[in-house]
Amino acid sequence: MPRNKWNIIKSFAGKNSLLITIALLTGLCYNILTIMIPISIGKFYELSFGFSSHRLAAFKFIPFMDASNFQSFLGFFFALVALRLGFEYLNRYSISLTGERFSKTLRERLFQNQLQVAMNIYDTKGIGKYLLRYSGDMKSIQNYMKNGLIRFSQDIVLLLIVVIAIGSINVNLALIIAGCIAFSSIILWAINKALYKVSLERRNTRSGMLSFVNTRLRSILALKAFNKYLPEEKRYLKRSDKLYIIGKRYAKVVALLQSMIPAVTYTMLGIIMTYVFTASQQAESKLGGSSLLVLILLIISILPVLRRSLRVSIVWKLGDISFTKLIDILDLPKENQLPFENIKLDDREIIFNNVCFTYPNTSKPIFNDLQLLINPKSTTLLQGKSGSGKSTFIRLLLKLMSPSTGHISFGDHQCYKLSEKTIRKNIAIVSKDFPLYGRDVYEAIVYNRKEANKEKAKFLLEHLQQHEDHQNQLKLDSKIGDLGCNLTSGQQKLLMYCRALLTQKPILILEEPLKEINIYTQKLLLQLLKDFQDQKTLILLDDHEVKGFDIDTIYHL
Ligand SMILES: Nc1ncnc2c1ncn2[C@@H]1O[C@H](COP(=O)(O)OP(=O)(O)OP(=O)(O)O)[C@@H](O)[C@H]1O
């Protein structure tokens, strides 16, 4: 089934039908009770001034309309107010809860999708493109659900009931009101078309600004070091000016729309007054005091609702734009489409068979018929200068990317038939391309946070740091900063080793394995890796020879 807004809403409504039914039913009850208030004031008028209106007889089924004295009327009136309070509370709460649940469901699905997006797509879009969705767009979508669908349908029901109630007092008046509502909706529809265009432009420009700020803040060190304030400020000013101009256009359309709404409703009131006045001149259709009062109060009580319903198209338009963006992300090709199987690849050779690879949107192939065989539990060095494709090799092996042609396999398991998770369960990596993340050292190096793992992590961390300066030694609770920015590159490398070795995966990829590590710690590491050498497949990637390892095979990239 193609993904669209209605499929998403329908599937949510199916899973939350009770909550939505409660919202709609309480809305209906609260609406009916709302209308009873002006009607009861008509009764109050009757009781106070001794008039009786045959037109109000239509409402005889309402209990207080039968009340013969003021005391019992007042009892009903307060009961009505209390009941309305209860229903309004339930209604508002259930609508808000529906909105909260809807955005919870969507943001969780969105994050899952964002994490699983295929790397070739992710690379071309960049991080900034994914950030906005959690703030403005989610709010617009939540609003769409709450105000654009539930509250709007509730308001339409209220308007219908009021028109029917007015119709039971005076049919012509009901027809005039219905006609006016239809006519004003058409006028506002036209303005809304213009609104859609300018809102879309405003959203896209804002989104671009967010990406801009994001990349500048991420490169803040370079920006400061190279005195790039001025050019970046100038670029930002240009964007900001553009957003301001679009913002002005947006403000114009919204102001027009919002000032048109009261104008339209007051014009409607004028038409109604003209009719009532004309009718009062003709004795046969004259409206009695109490029914006139009820009519006026009914009309006044629906004016805010009418304004809200005429304004709803802003909610629809903004919601539509955000839905489109959301669906764009949800529709991005994902990885992990194959089911996970817990296959151990420790005794399989790694085979690259005529692998060709070219990055999307580029023409220069990185690999042309790459042939490679890595025996299980052996140590292999892939040597190549910068740009020769070492990082690309890792990406292919991890199935972050797929070969353009040719095959990668683990023994007789073809890579394209294995899920990404299956492959990655077998491979650990030490490389600057796979940064550390988490708040502290513990979060950065241990993913399975069992107590036993904490002990192992503490032990390994202390072991690997025994030759480091005392003041440089990290503890499990040391804060690492954003992507390890509080750490030296040597500390980062050691933590990457801890992260890789704590996972017990059978294949270990080490990019520039000894770089940035002091000579004593290098010895320690080499000894540790030697202990593993007959249990793990080691793949070293470097632009030079790597001393200290017993290397079985060398490939030149
Ligand atoms: N996402 C990408 N899109 C397009 N081209 C890319 C992408 N990533 C890398 N390349 C190009 O692919 C080539 C190989 O890059 P790769 O990062 O694999 O080299 P490397 O051997 O790891 O280099 P280094 O040792 O400097 O990290 C380079 O020419 C690089 O410009």
pLDDT band for position 50 (cuts 50, 70, 90): low
| Section 88-103 average pLDDT | 95
Yes or no: domain 16-330 corresponds to CATH 3.40.50.300: no
Percent of the chain surpassing pLDDT 70: 92
Q: pTM of the prediction?
A: 0.79
- Average pLDDT of the chain to the nearest whole number: 86
In this predicted model, which residue has the larger pLDDT, 63 or 450? Answer: 450
Mean pLDDT of 499-517: 92
Nearest CA to ligand 1 atom 6: 359
Between CA 98 and CA 181 the distance in angstroms is 28
Q: Is the pLDDT of residue 336 over 80?
A: no
CA distance 370 to 354: 5
The residue ranking higher by pLDDT, 419 or 132, is 419
Position 462, amino acid: E
Q: Would you state the pLDDT for residue 133?
A: 56
- pLDDT score for 26: 95
For residue 429, which phi and psi values (nearest 5 degrees)? -135, 140
Task: Work out the average pLDDT over 333-337.
Answer: 82
Whether residue 515 has its Cβ less than 6 Å from ligand 1: no
- Pair 151, 96: CB distance under 8 Å: no
Determine the distance separating the centroid of ligand 1 and the alpha carbon of 285, expressed in angstroms.
86
Q: Tell me the pLDDT tens digit for each residue of 365-423.
A: 999 999 999 999 999 999 999 999 999 999 999 999 999 999 999 999 999 999 999 99
Q: What percent of the chain has pLDDT over 90?
A: 42
Instruction: Give the per-residue pLDDT at 321.
Output: 86
Contact between 457 and 476 under an 8 Å Cβ cutoff? The reply is yes
CB 480 within 8 A of CB 463: no
- Range of lowest pLDDT (66-80, 169-183, 237-251, 258-272): 66-80
Question: What's the rounded Cα separation, in Å, for the pair 257 and 450?
Answer: 59
pLDDT for residue 1 = 60
pLDDT at 138: 87
CB 388 less than 6 A from any atom of ligand 1: yes
Q: What is the ipTM of this complex?
A: 0.95
Q: Quick one: 8 exposed, middle or buried, by C-beta within 10 A (0-12, 13-18, 19+)? A: buried
The conformational region for residue 195 under phi > 0 = left, psi -120 to 50 = alpha, else beta, is alpha
The pLDDT score that the predictor gives to residue 425 is 92
What is the tens place of the pLDDT at every residue in 469-478? 888 899 999 9
Q: Whose CA is closest to 423, among 494, 316, 340?
A: 340
Ligand 1 atom at minimum distance from 389 CA: 18
Please indicate whether residue 126, judged by its CB atom, sits closer than 6 Å to ligand 1.
no
Q: Tell me the Cα Rg of the chain.
A: 35
Q: Rank 288-297, 326-335, 403-412 by mean pLDDT and report only the highest.
A: 403-412
Q: Would you state the pLDDT for residue 52?
A: 59
Q: Quick one: pLDDT band at residue 241, thresholds 50, 70, 90? A: very high
Q: How far is the CA of 385 from the centre of ligand 1 (A)?
A: 11
Ligand 1 midpoint to CA 550 (Å):
28
Q: What is the DSSP string of 500-526?
A: HHTTT-SEEEEESTTTT--HHHHHHHH
Distance separating alpha carbons of residues 239 and 252, to the nearest angstrom? 20
- Structure letter (DSSP) for residue 376: T
Contact residues for 19 (Cβ-Cβ < 8 A; gap 6+): 94, 97, 98, 101
Average pLDDT over residues 234-253: 94
Question: Phi then psi for 536, rounded to 5 degrees?
Answer: -125, 155
pLDDT category at 60 given cuts 50, 70, 90 is: low
Q: How far apart are CA 535 and CA 513, in angstroms?
A: 18
The residue whose two tokens read 């992990």 is: 336
Average pLDDT over residues 112-123: 84
Joined tokens for residue 116 = 């699983």
Instruction: Please indicate whether residue 391, judged by its CB atom, sits closer than 6 Å to ligand 1.
Output: yes
Q: Tell me which residue has its CA closest to atom 16 in ligand 1.
A: 389
Q: Based on the number of CB atoms within 10 Å of its own CB, is 43 exposed (0-12), middle (13-18) or buried (19 or more)?
A: buried
Q: What was the pLDDT predicted at 463?
A: 92
How confident is the model over 148-157, as a mean pLDDT? 91
Pocket test for ligand 1, best of 390, 516, 556 (most atoms within 8 A of CB): 390
pLDDT confidence of residue 367 = 94
Instruction: Name the 3-class secondary structure at 69.
Output: coil
Find how far residue 412's CA is from the centre of its chain. 41
Which of 97-101, 133-137, 304-308 shows the lowest mean pLDDT across its residues? Answer: 133-137
Q: Which atom of ligand 1 is nearest to the CA of 395?
A: 18
Tokens for 269?
């009131």
Q: Is the CB of 387 under 6 A from ligand 1?
A: yes
Q: Which fold has domain 350-556?
A: Rossmann fold (3.40.50)
Flag whether pLDDT at 448 surpasses 90: no
Count of residues in the chain: 557
Choice from 119, 359, 512 to test ligand 1 binding pocket (greatest atom count within 8 A of CB): 359
- List of residues 6+ apart from 165 with CB closer than 8 A: 35, 39, 59, 298
| Whether 52 contacts 76, CB under 8 Å | no
123 ligand 1 Cβ < 6 A? yes
- Give the pLDDT mean for 431-435: 92
Beta bridge partners of 537: 507
Residue 359 CA to ligand 1 centre (angstroms):
9
Q: What are the sequence ranges of the domains in the chain?
A: 16-330, 350-556
Q: Looking at the predicted structure, is the pLDDT value of residue 55 above 60?
A: no
pLDDT of residue 494: 94
